[in-house]
């Protein structure tokens, strides 16, 4: 066989065998003496005799648009690692996206390893513990004036003499006012774990 069979030529040009048989019957293919198809000569003849408006163009691949947030995240990840990132709206290459993905995977593995080693704690748990500690501290200060007011009143009475007696109830009232004022000012502080 000098040239290609119908099947081989169909695969060569990307058409069905039936289409090749029709082209052969219409005389648009160049054949060798043994009936096989001369590929190069047939390609030229088909190009000359085929109406371009009737040719099928391969469908363009349907690509989903990438959300701008995803492109921005790729850029942020690359910049964090000191790598070149695409300009805003400039598009991201496949290599840049793949690099950002590998960087994120490495960061995720590092964080997982730090958690396993006990170097990192859960943020929600840390906030809960911090809140509980602050509440316990506040409760201790709120009850403090009631515990020490009588003792302080007796010490002041002893220091000033019996002529100037300090009442425990008045001492407790004054201490509570000052402690609450201090606690109110401390409540304005908002610690963050960010």
What integer best gives the mean pLDDT of the chain? 82
Are the beta carbons of 70 and 78 closer than 8 angstroms? no
**Is a pLDDT exceeding 80 seen at residue 114?**
yes
Mean pLDDT, residues 114-118 taken together? 85
> Which of 147, 182, 150 has the alpha carbon at shortest distance from 166?
150
What's the pLDDT score for residue 193?
62
Through-space distance between the first and last CA atoms of the chain, rounded to whole angstroms: 76
What's the pLDDT score for residue 92?
67
Residues facing 37 on adjacent strands? 4, 31
Backbone angles phi, psi at 37, to 5 degrees: -95, 130
Q: Encode pLDDT of 88-109 as tens digits.
A: 555 667 777 777 788 888 888 9
What's the pLDDT score for residue 10?
93
CA distance 17 to 8: 9
Residue of higher predicted confidence among 61 and 152 = 152
Mean pLDDT, residues 43-69 taken together? 74
What's the pLDDT score for residue 123?
81
Are the beta carbons of 29 and 52 closer than 8 angstroms? no
What's the pLDDT score for residue 50?
77
Helix count and strand count (H, E) for the chain: 7, 0
What's the pLDDT score for residue 6?
92
What's the pLDDT score for residue 17?
93
What's the pLDDT score for residue 21?
93
Mean pLDDT, residues 138-159 taken together? 88
Q: Which residue has the tokens 């991201």?
A: 92
What's 68-87 look like in SS3?
HHHHHHHHHHHHHCCCCCCC
């Amino acid at each position: 066989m000098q040239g290609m069979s119908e099947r081989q030529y169909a695969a060569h040009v990307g058409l069905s065998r039936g289409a090749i048989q029709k082209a052969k019957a219409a005389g648009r293919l160049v054949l060798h003496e043994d009936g096989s198809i001369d590929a190069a000569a047939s390609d030229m003849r088909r190009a000359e005799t085929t109406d371009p408006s009737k040719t099928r163009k391969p469908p363009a691949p349907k690509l989903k648009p990438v959300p701008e947030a995803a492109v921005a995240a790729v850029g942020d990840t690359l910049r964090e690692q000191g790598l070149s990132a695409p300009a805003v709206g400039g598009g991201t290459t496949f290599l840049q996206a793949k690099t950002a993905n590998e960087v994120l995977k490495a960061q995720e593995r590092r964080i997982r390893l730090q958690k396993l080693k006990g170097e990192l704690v859960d943020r929600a748990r840390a906030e809960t513990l911090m809140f509980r500690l602050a509440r316990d501290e506040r409760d201790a200060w709120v009850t403090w004036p009631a515990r020490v007011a009588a003792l302080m009143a007796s010490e002041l009475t002893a220091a000033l003499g019996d002529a100037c007696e300090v009442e425990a109830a008045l001492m407790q009232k004054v201490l509570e006012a000052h402690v609450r004022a201090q606690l109110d000012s401390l409540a304005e502080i908002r610690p963050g774990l960010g």
